[in-house]
Amino acid sequence: MSDSAVVESKHAAPLAECASCNHMLPPGLGEIKCEICGAICRVSHQPTVDALISEKIPCPHCNMIVVAGTDERPVGLTCSECSGVFTLAAKVVKVEIECPACERKLRIRPRPGTRQLDCPACSSAFNVTF
């Protein structure tokens, strides 16, 4: 039985834009600092908070259902059936970007600002801005 098991959450905070500069904010809920302009923005989404609190996860050790009970991620959880300890990690959000040259779809993690991407299919470089 491994004490370092990590389970990814099924729910993620929605992507939000900075009220000052309209660039994408880092993912999360609460007071988020914009990486582009430095403004502090309050991000809340009650349906996501409710989903995170009531999220049910099977224990990776015995498959017993464990309720998260909090909207914090990552959070350490202990199974009441087998006393197995595991971590419920935040969901990694990815978006699909289409290469303008060959139309291949690329899945990337969105980050605030501009990024240069190289298409693995046609080797063309292009910029994306979030």
Residues 82 and 39 occupy one common structural domain: yes
Domain containing 73 equals: 5-89
Residues 99 and 85 occupy one common structural domain: no
Residues 68 and 53 occupy one common structural domain: yes
Residues 50 and 113 occupy one common structural domain: no
For the chain, residues with pLDDT lower than 50 are 1-2
Residues 52 and 83 occupy one common structural domain: yes
Tokens of 44: 């809340």
Closest among 89, 126, 95, 124 to 108, alpha carbons compared: 95
Q: Pairing state of beta strands 65-67 and 56-58?
A: antiparallel
Residues 77 and 49 occupy one common structural domain: yes
pLDDT value, residue 117: 93
* Per-residue CA distances from 50 to 34, 66, 86, 92, 128 (Å): 25, 16, 21, 19, 32
Residues 56 and 104 occupy one common structural domain: no
pLDDT value, residue 80: 92
Closest among 50, 48, 55 to 75, alpha carbons compared: 55
pLDDT value, residue 2: 47
- Rounded Cα gap, residues 89 and 7, in angstroms: 6
Residues 48 and 77 occupy one common structural domain: yes
Q: Total structural domains in the chain?
A: 2
Residues 18 and 46 occupy one common structural domain: yes
pLDDT value, residue 4: 75
